[in-house]
Amino acid sequence: MKMSGGVEWALHCCVVLTGATEPVPAARLAAFHDVSPTYLAKQLQALSRAGLVRSVQGQAGGYQLTRDPQAITVLDVVEAVDGRQSAFVCTEIRQRGPFAATPEQCRVPCGIASVMYDADRAWRDSLRATTIADLAGRVGRDVGPETLPRAREWMAGRSG
Amino acid sequence: MKMSGGVEWALHCCVVLTGATEPVPAARLAAFHDVSPTYLAKQLQALSRAGLVRSVQGQAGGYQLTRDPQAITVLDVVEAVDGRQSAFVCTEIRQRGPFAATPEQCRVPCGIASVMYDADRAWRDSLRATTIADLAGRVGRDVGPETLPRAREWMAGRSG
DNA sequence: TTGTTTCCGGACAGTCTTTATCCGAGTTGA
DNA sequence: TCAACTCGGATAAAGACTGTCCGGAAACAA
């Protein structure tokens, strides 16, 4: 079981967009993180479809957050990029084989599936407890307070 | 993000083995669930390596649980088949690009990774809270009490 | 001993998701 | 108008998961 690497990229982008006052092009976000520009664009499109970022086209276009970073949870980003469905998919094994359960018995979900779904819910609850604003604040502490303004300035410049 | 389908098979097998008094061959477990025998064998080998089941070779051989079903958690099975590592892998994006963090700043784990690891821990804690015995008891209630003895008898027969 | 049954491990295709890239459609600003 | 720049979806390559097969070893029965 492995989560899409795009989730990590998307989260970093959201944190960076926290400090942006103007739309930031995808190419600039890719250069900032030193990742594949075209593939990062795909993740940003997913964020756009989910309504987490707004895409501005044209010469001064780019991406910007649609709402306050405090109102965007980590779960929002994960589900936007990686999908909303559970990692576990029940194939209804109980309905197969010589002792297959009857359809009436299968109106209640399989016990194994229930346990997996509960765990999935716990996972999502945990991700929902942290916001992009929380992450941004922590990055500010870890990396030192003087780096953020410089990064913000670099992000605003349209070249180099 | 998708979990290996073998996890579901392995869990069903563990539940079935709960009611067995003798070793059950892999081929019989596969027939019971109507799944690929060779691929199921792979999952059972993983359970064996993890020490959850004992493999008995020879004519009356097969698989049996090594300890009380109450002492085997769902997490044990999941980790045996799907691995013990987190679904999220941090690629240390913060150390790349024009504003790469210094190695000293990276002694503390990345904030994004921390959140993902916390969620992973919550997921595993949830899976650890249910045992194979719990699952077996629930199956007994769902499928009706008369099916289990019949299935047990079928499992004990060495043919058909 | 011999034969049968069974597990074990590795090597091998088929299939699907993830990863990565390109080119066209649409918008902005001059 | 025009040109430059952007996003967006459709299109290939890579890797992981799924599934299969075979040879080898161990245990049991005859």
Among residues A110, A120, A91, A115, the alpha carbon closest in space to that of B5 is found at A91
Q: Which amino acid is at B66?
A: T
Q: Which nucleotide is nearest to B9 (CA to C1')?
A: D18
Domain boundaries of chain B, sorted by first residue: 5-155
pLDDT at B37 over 50: yes
Predicted local confidence at residue A158, as pLDDT = 55
Cα–Cα distance, B43 to B11 (Å, whole number) = 10
Predicted local confidence at residue A61, as pLDDT = 86
Kindly state the average pLDDT of the residues A117-141: 96
Cα–Cα distance, B14 to B72 (Å, whole number) = 9
Cα–Cα distance, B53 to B76 (Å, whole number) = 11
Q: Which nucleotide is nearest to A42 (CA to C1')?
A: D8
Kindly state the average pLDDT of the residues A86-103: 92
pTM: 0.93
Q: First and final CA of chain A: distance in angstroms?
A: 39
Instruction: List bases in chain C with any atom under 7 Å of a protein Cβ.
Output: 3-10, 17-23, 25-29
What share of chain B has pLDDT > 90, as a percent? 76
CB contact under 8 A, B93 and A35: yes
pLDDT at B5 over 90: yes
Domain spanning A5-155: CATH 3.10.20.30: no
Give the tens place of pLDDT for each residue, B98-109. Answer: 999 988 888 889
pLDDT at B159 over 60: no
pLDDT at B9 over 60: yes
* H or E stretch at B88: none
